[in-house]
């Protein structure tokens, strides 16, 4: 793989990827736990596990074949690794400080979830495994907050649900208000308008004009150059 990544020690070439081996799985769990413990020690109130957008946890949930028998095949097996990671983090820092973000059927970065019945079964298995833990919140990224899949997962979770419509549209006040008013979710995740308007809540409450998001200012120098 060509290219470089940027971490706190500077720029580094990408390591050559390899299929995750079964013996490596416990170490991955511990890395998540260490990261969350460090965040709490640094003063964060809580941390959200990223189980969406094609990243590692999402890859286990997706339908493509996986080399490890205990985490492939059935919906329960595909959900197993994510449940184990969430459980390990909860045991380390507490459920009230732990959240999980998912993006069912988002189909991004190679995490293909194109079979509706399979997606519904996989994420139902995931929610069944994490609901008893009493997480602080479940964040769901989906283009349609009223979608049957989203609402089914929300009801199964039986806890605070945050909804995020993704990158295709910029959430307006009316969009956010409709989500809450219709009971589709408990809160709405807003990105770009909040970046451009640090006082977004006040502006929405008072009907004030908003600054337009400027994508060229989203990242500081050195991050993407």
Please list, in sequence order, all residues whose beta carbon lies within 8 angstroms of the beta carbon of residue 124, skipping any fewer than 6 positions away: 75, 152, 153, 156
Question: Please, what sign has the CA dihedral across residues 92, 37, 108, 141?
Answer: positive
Q: How far apart are CA 54 and CA 72, in angstroms?
A: 17
Which of 41, 42, 130 has the alpha carbon at shortest distance from 92? 41
Q: How far apart are CA 1 and CA 192, in angstroms?
A: 31
Burial (CB < 10 A; 0-12, 13-18, 19+), residue 127, is buried
Q: Does the active-site annotation cover 55?
A: yes
Point out the catalytic residue in the list 55, 123, 173, 219: 55
Phi, psi of 6 (to 5 degrees): -120, 120
Q: How far apart are CA 131 and CA 135, in angstroms?
A: 7
Q: How far apart are CA 204 and CA 210, in angstroms?
A: 9
Q: How far apart are CA 172 and CA 193, in angstroms?
A: 8
Kindly list the catalytic residues.
Answer: 55
């Amino acid at each position: 793989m060509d290219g470089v990544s940027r971490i706190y020690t500077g720029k580094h070439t990408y390591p050559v990827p390899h299929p995750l081996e079964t013996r490596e799985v416990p170490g991955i769990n511990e890395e998540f736990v260490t990261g969350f413990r460090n965040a709490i020690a640094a003063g964060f109130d809580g941390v959200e596990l990223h189980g969406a957008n094609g990243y590692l946890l999402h890859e286990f949930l997706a339908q493509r074949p996986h080399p490890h028998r205990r985490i492939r095949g059935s919906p329960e097996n595909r959900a197993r690794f994510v449940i184990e990671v969430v459980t390990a983090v909860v045991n380390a820092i507490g459920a009230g400080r732990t959240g999980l973000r998912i993006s069912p059927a988002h189909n991004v970065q190679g995490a293909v979830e194109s079979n509706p019945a399979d997606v519904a079964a996989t994420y139902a298995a995931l929610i069944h495994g994490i609901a008893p833990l009493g997480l602080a919140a479940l964040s769901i990224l989906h283009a349609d907050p009223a979608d049957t899949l989203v609402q089914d997962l929300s009801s199964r979770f039986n806890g605070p649900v945050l909804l995020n419509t993704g990158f295709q549209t910029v959430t307006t006040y009316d969009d956010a208000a409709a989500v809450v008013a219709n009971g589709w979710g408990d809160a709405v995740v807003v990105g770009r308008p909040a970046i451009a308007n640090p006082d977004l809540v006040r502006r929405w409450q008072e009907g004030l004009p908003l600054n337009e998001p400027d994508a060229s200012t989203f990242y500081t120098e050195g991050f993407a150059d």
